[in-house]
Chains A and B, each alone.
Chain A
Amino acid sequence: MISFSRIAAVFIKELVQMRRDRPTFAIMIMVPVMQLALFGFAINTDPRHLPAAVELRDEGPLTRSFLASLKQSTYVEITDIVHGEAQGEELLRSGKVNFLIVIPENFESDFVRGERPEILVAADASDPVAASGVIGAVGEIARRAFAPELDRLPSKLRGGAPPYNVVVHRQYNPEGVTAFNIVPGLLGVILTMTMTMITSIALTRERERGTYEALLSSPVRPLEIMVGKTTPYILVGAIQTGIILLAARYVFDIPFTGNMAAFVLVLSIFIFTNLMLGYLISTVARTQMQAMQMTFFVFLPSILLSGFMFPFRAMPAWARAIGEALPNTHFLRMVREIMLKGASFADIQGDLGPLLLILFVLAGIALLRFQRTLD
């Protein structure tokens, strides 16, 4: 019943048309590059050289050592050294500095006596992403700064808890968003957008150009058109993935720890699911413009509700329910598991099943929606 020759006919035709349509092809390749640059570099979630003020209520060799260590870390640039209490608060409030580091009274003597004086780090909470880097690093900075001093302390202060305490003040605690997290996520977002968009015009374009009539008047079957029209773009998706993976490895130094076979499998299913989603849109949309709008209608939740932007578990139940129906949600979970945590096939089954289900439901509806006549 199903003819390989007819699938091949549509497949080859699509490849030739893709090759001829250079601008579209170029965009497909440029999109991952540009998005990587945008999200990966421009949106720097590990910022350095942020302005900081230090409020010195005590001074001494320990304090100097800590300040030197802070400078060395490059996380902060100490722009102001203040002595009065109100001054530092004012600098932080006005936004002139992102951080205010307070060395308390009698810090030096309390330190030596083992009274664990508190170093206060007040972070500007209005920019939580900017703050997170310093907040994460400040403990280690202090440890390094005071390590040589510890050796000179009486032995009873060594070994146990450090003889100081770093206290961080921030208003809320965002999920740590770093390039490690964002680049694998970008893979899902880029594939969702480009793959859905390119097939969303698959049939609409034929309809608008009038070629649909010639196609339908031939004995080609709906399934043959669907397979022939979607599979060429798996190649495009593979090229995009290659670009992103290479960038992840060599530009962002993201280790690939997981199972490559599992990754390729998950990736192929995900690409195909998005192609089907686009194809389904093209059976509904009357014009290419409509197809684009529908693509964006799907695309936005794929960014916002999939766990790419916001922590999935922090969303309300209804939003999580929508998120579970999106291919990107399952893909993101699996790809982060595989790339960052070294997951194997067994670890990702809980998301592979739902993704496959979404694929078959989409393909089924698309086939039912396909009109064999011009009615």
Chain B
Amino acid sequence: MNGEPVIDVRGLTKRFGDKTVVDHFDLKVPRGSIYGFLGPNGSGKTTTIRMVCGLLKPDEGEGTCLGHDVLHESVKIKSKVGYMTQRFSLYEDLSIRENLEFFSRLYGLDNLRRRVNESIESLGLKGRAGQLAGELSGGWKQRLALAVCMIHNPKLLLLDEPTAGVDPKARRDFWDTIRLYASQGVTTLVSTHYMDEAVQCDRIAYIAYGKKLLDAPTAEIPGRLGLHAFKLDNGDLDKLSSILKGAPGVDILARFGASIHVCGKDRDKLAAAVDRVRDMEGVRIKEIEAGLEEAFIYLMAESDDNFSAEDAA
């Protein structure tokens, strides 16, 4: 993580009508890192990404992306950034090859044929290059979208919920590819609300209602939240759940297979709540250190879907 940050913006604000969708957002993304945007639907993740790559004009704020001014040099930014949209946005009536060729030409790339062939080969789609993009399954569409994003060797990848609707195997493969790019120095900013994706990130910013609530290296997040946790197993888990859910001090309750984890910020209250079920038949209680999973469940449970105009943008 060397040199100046790839993205360095301050006070980024976007309003749609009288609704502030992104509210004075600061973001510093170091080179070569995988940076996660976590937050519920409508929290402003997509809007922030669009402002960074010049698709939306911020109402307030300033900063740079890849050394270019986000307010005035969006054309230069666009030519160096690979942006993968939340919804599949390639041409479904063009074939895989034609989509790759179209975007290669838009970026003015040389050695078009060689580049496209290499891309098709690395996709593992050599025999199917003539197939229409609209006929591909969700997982393949997503791989094609990533290949199009990478066709011009961008320094920065912006991925907006890239693996929504993709099966776990494809999602794992996808992340292996992102890791590979990161090792080659490509910076990635990815928005998600999947926990297993969030843990892949080096650093995470948590957003709700257009505001950044937390910004830390992934490993430090549980500590930052100050969560305490107890693990309960054995015994009648359904009954335990119904008693503990919503009890004072229990901020979240989650089932993990044959056990229940309860977490809360106030350790005394949490311990008191757990004490009430200590005498139940067969139950085993153990205090544990709150991990990433508990942290994410806590964060996601904190705020429900943020009602906002994000999708209308």
- Interface residue ranges, A against B (CB under 8 Å): 3, 5-6, 8-10, 12-13, 16-17, 20-21, 209-221, 372-375
Contacts and interface: CB of A to CB of B under 8 A. Distances in A.
Instruction: Give the size range of B's interface with the partner.
Output: 20 to 34
Nearest to B105: A9
A13 B55 contact: no
Contacts of B91: 13, 17, 209, 211
A213 B102 contact: no
A16 B98 contact: yes
8 contacts: A10-B106, A20-B94, A211-B90, A213-B87, A214-B83, A214-B85, A218-B103, A219-B79
Give 9 closest A-B pairs by Cβ, nearest first. Answer: A9-B105, A214-B89, A219-B79, A218-B106, A217-B83, A219-B78, A210-B89, A13-B102, A5-B108
B106 A375 contact: no
A374 B105 contact: no
Interface in B13-62: 50, 53-57
Contacts of B90: 211, 214
Contacts of A214: 83, 85, 89-90, 103, 148
Given A5-B105, A374-B50, A210 B88 contact: yes
B258 interface: no
A9 B106 contact: yes
B307 interface: no
B94 A210 contact: no
Nearest to A19: B93
Interface of B: 50, 53-57, 74-75, 78-79, 81, 83, 85, 87-94, 98, 101-108, 132, 148, 313
B143 to A, nearest CB: 15
Contact of B94 (A8, A16, A220): A16
A373 B54 contact: yes
A9 B313 contact: no
A17 B55 contact: no
A89 to B, nearest CB: 66
A216 B85 CA distance: 11
A3 B75 CA distance: 13
Given A5-B108, A8-B105, A210 B313 contact: no
Given A5-B105, A20-B93, A215-B106, 19 more contacts: A5-B108, A6-B106, A6-B108, A8-B105, A13-B94, A17-B94, A20-B94, A209-B91, A213-B85, A217-B53, A218-B103, A219-B78, A219-B106, A219-B107, A221-B75, A373-B57, A374-B55, A375-B57, A375-B313
Contacts of B94: 13, 16-17, 20
A220 B93 contact: no
Contacts of A211: 89-91
Contact of B55 (A210, A216, A219): A216
A9 B93 CA distance: 15
A209 B79 CA distance: 23
B75 A219 contact: yes
Nearest to A209: B92
A278 B92 CA distance: 23
B4 to A, nearest CB: 23
A211 B85 CA distance: 10
Nearest to B55: A374
A373 B53 CA distance: 10
